[in-house]
Amino acid sequence: MHRTYSLRSSRAPTNSQLQSPPPPTSTTKSGSLFGKSSLGNTFRKNAAGNFGPDLAKKLSQFVKMEKNVMRSIELVARERREVGKQLSLWGEDNDDDVSDVTDKLGVLIYEIGELEDQFIDKYDQYRLTLKSIRNIEASVQPSRERKQKITDEIAKLKYKEPNSPKIPVLEQELVRAEAESLVAEAQLSNITREKLKASFSYQFDAMRELAEKYALIAGYGKALLELLDDSPVTPGETRPAYDGYEASKQIIVDAENALGNWTLDSAAIKPTLSMRTTTGDVYSSDRQRIDDDDGDVYANDQELLHSAQGNNYSSQGNTANNNWPNEHSEQHDVPTNANGNGTANQHRPVEVV
Amino acid sequence: MHRTYSLRSSRAPTNSQLQSPPPPTSTTKSGSLFGKSSLGNTFRKNAAGNFGPDLAKKLSQFVKMEKNVMRSIELVARERREVGKQLSLWGEDNDDDVSDVTDKLGVLIYEIGELEDQFIDKYDQYRLTLKSIRNIEASVQPSRERKQKITDEIAKLKYKEPNSPKIPVLEQELVRAEAESLVAEAQLSNITREKLKASFSYQFDAMRELAEKYALIAGYGKALLELLDDSPVTPGETRPAYDGYEASKQIIVDAENALGNWTLDSAAIKPTLSMRTTTGDVYSSDRQRIDDDDGDVYANDQELLHSAQGNNYSSQGNTANNNWPNEHSEQHDVPTNANGNGTANQHRPVEVV
């Protein structure tokens, strides 16, 4: 909020941004075919389920619906900034105390819009991470269908021509298809869980940041209101001169510092859990990077996944290769450090079948 | 969040609702001429400044812009609930752990939509309280104009017919107009400050509630994620049976309790102020009702205002009467207890001119 006195000027990164670098700008922020209206939203939601393999339909629709949420938050953020400016504009014509307080309230409200804007970029990362589940779902379907098709063919042949030489060929083909399918299903199972956890973990962290910053702004806003001279005057009485400029400026500086210094580690609101079912602390205060055996730091969870899979599948021979469905490789992963606790237990030694 | 296991069933009031009763449903929630699209928003904003007295134009526009913010939050809330349902729907086809966790995540996300919905109703109260400033602004303008008109007329007469018998009549009229104007200006000054403080105080309290509840939900959401079995499996390996049903249910119960028990007094996030400029504690933990001399509790700040004015203006005689501009009496005040600290110092003894 480096705009203590005006709504202009550029900004220094906050502590929370230093802790986890901000994601790229949300994809919804560029112009879109359907503009910003909810018309596009409705179309998008309804169209989403109509294409692609059955397996991925529900998730496709979910991902599109999240895009609608994002666009609506974007609308709120934009209108919030406009409201902040208009409040300041209205207050200008008023007495000194009202003018100063509304101007500073405008700064805080504008800041809410900015925070919502940053949240949108993170929400987009969450959404794009979910897309990788959709992609693996979509790529698993052909493998299931192929297995089913060969099984059906064998059954048909065995009924029509029980001695057909094609049967052993098809049976060999089925073994290969089953192996491929086993790998695909394992990938689906692993990626679904990993990405689900990573994406929501990221969303919840982003939400926690936005939420605590909202609450901070609300607090500083209330402090500003105290500067209003709201003791009633009688007709003809003039109010004492306003002397709150220093105080209001200081409140904005304090707010700026509080927002700038906020990090996930300093989060004040923690859930009270009556059962402790997991070893990992949900709100661990030491969010450490995870080192692998070489002492390297994993760049992101995608790399982590590849590495884990390398361990699992390399002994499977050629059938269980590491070929990813690259036609679906739109892998937008959450930035480094996004899911500090989430990925740690992927490092437990896994058995090789 | 009385929907531990499903998205249905009705809800018990939360502690925060018991502390300050929820406001009526937002006016934007009924059908509107321009529907829910942003088309209406743009029109509303641009049209707002074009009618009514100059004095009230900027605030009129501000109030309309806040309606846009509200409608956009409404959109977010509605889409949030849809997203919650769709997440649960997608998860249903998955393995037990994914299915259970996504279902519970869906409950939490749906709840976010519900909280945003409650916030909208409060935001509407904030906005309607601002309207009373707009109304007094609009009603003060004619009184200013009348005074100016009489002054001009006297000046003109004094130049053209210095001995006109109309002059003393007009001068008496001017005295009355000035008295009326003095009262109007005092009302404007008092109401602007009182309503500005009450409305924003109410908005910030509502925001703080929403924010802290967001943060709580994010925390419980992260706890749910820990129940996902995200250790990678190898092809053909089956995952151990999911045993998290009890835990996930308990997390939702915990979340329900945390949200239900939350009150402003229990707010965890407080601003750090480096200057203490006001006597009132911005975040006082003992938000008391204000008793008047009779021991009655003020029903709302409107009543408080009337009472205060009675003290000030009654000695002014007939000129300074208590007649409010009733044609502008669309006084929607924030509900009882909304601004606990804000109004206390209106009780200081005021001098009578």
Query: Hey, is the C-beta of B149 within 8 angstroms of any chain A C-beta?
Result: no
Weakest mean pLDDT among A166-175, B29-38, B286-295: B286-295
Taking the domains of chain A in order of start, what are their residue ranges? 15-230+243-268
Of all residues in chain B, what percent carry a pLDDT higher than 70?
A: 67
Is the separation of the CB atoms in B239 and B99 below 8 Å? no
Weakest mean pLDDT among A43-57, A243-257, B245-259: A43-57
Which of B233, B307, B348 is the best substitution to test chain A (most A C-beta atoms within 10 A)? B233
Are A271 and B220 inside 8 Å of each other by CB? yes
- Print the SS3 string covering chain B: CCCCCCCCCCCCCCHHHHHCCCCCCCHHHCCCCCCCCHHHHHHHHHHHCCCCCHHHHHHHHHHHHHHHHHHHHHHHHHHHHHHHHHHHHHHCCCCHHHHHHHHHHHHHHHHHHHHHHHHHHHHHHHHHHHHHHHHHHHHHHHHHHHHHHHHHHHHHHHHHCCCCCHHHHHHHHHHHHHHHHHHHHHHHHHHHHHHHHHHHHHHHHHHHHHHHHHHHHHHHHHHHHCCCCCCCCCCCCCCCCCCCHHHHHHHHHHHHHHHHHCCHHHCCCCCCCCCCCCCCCCCCCCCCCCECCCCCECCCHHHHHHHHHHHHHHHHCCCCCCCCCHHHCCCCCCCCCCCCCCCHHHHCCCCCC
Mean pLDDT over A149-154 rounds to 95
pLDDT digit string, tens, across residues A26-44: 766 654 444 444 455 555 5
Mean pLDDT over B168-181 rounds to 94
Res A348 pLDDT > 50: no
Kindly indicate whether the ipTM for this predicted assembly is greater than 0.85, answering yes or no: no
Across chain B, mean pLDDT equals 76
pLDDT digit string, tens, across residues A248-302: 999 999 999 999 999 999 899 988 888 764 444 444 433 333 333 343 333 343 4
Res B331 pLDDT > 70: no
pLDDT given for residue A292 in this prediction: 37
pLDDT higher at B307 or A120:
A120
pLDDT given for residue A20 in this prediction: 74
pLDDT higher at B24 or A233:
A233
CA contacts within 13 A on the Cβ side of A220: 31
Query: Hey, is the C-beta of A262 within 8 angstroms of any chain B C-beta?
Result: no
Residues 6+ apart with CB under 8 A from B232: A186, A190, A194, A305, A308, A309, A312, A346, A350
CA contacts within 13 A on the Cβ side of A153: 16
Res B328 pLDDT > 80: no
CATH of domain B15-230+243-268: 1.20.1270.60
Weakest mean pLDDT among A16-30, A72-86, B100-114: A16-30
pLDDT higher at B300 or B121:
B121
Of all residues in chain A, what percent carry a pLDDT higher than 90?
A: 56
Q: Helices marked H in A226-300 — which ranges? A: 245-261
Closest by Cβ to A204, choosing from B212, B221, B246:
B221
Specify the DSSP element, H or E, that contains A62.
helix A57-91
pLDDT higher at B53 or A175:
A175
pTM for the model stands at: 0.73
Closest by Cβ to B273, choosing from A205, A239, A251:
A251
pLDDT given for residue A295 in this prediction: 38
pLDDT-based confidence at residue B29 (cuts at 50, 70, 90): low
Across chain A, mean pLDDT equals 76
Q: Which residue in A has a C-alpha nearest to residue B80's C-alpha?
A: A69
Weakest mean pLDDT among A94-103, B9-18, B53-62: B9-18
Judged by DSSP in three states, A291 sits in strand
Are B230 and A274 inside 8 Å of each other by CB? no
pLDDT given for residue B15 in this prediction: 78
Mean pLDDT over B278-288 rounds to 42
Mean pLDDT over B139-157 rounds to 92
Q: Which residue in B has a C-alpha nearest to residue A304's C-alpha?
A: B232
Which of B39, B43, B45, B62 is the best substitution to test chain A (most A C-beta atoms within 10 A)? B62
pLDDT given for residue A18 in this prediction: 75
pLDDT digit string, tens, across residues A218-263: 999 999 999 999 999 999 899 999 999 999 999 999 999 999 999 9
Mean pLDDT over A163-182 rounds to 93
Judged by DSSP in three states, A234 sits in coil
pLDDT digit string, tens, across residues A92-131: 889 999 999 999 999 999 999 999 999 999 999 999 999 9
Mean pLDDT over B66-92 rounds to 95
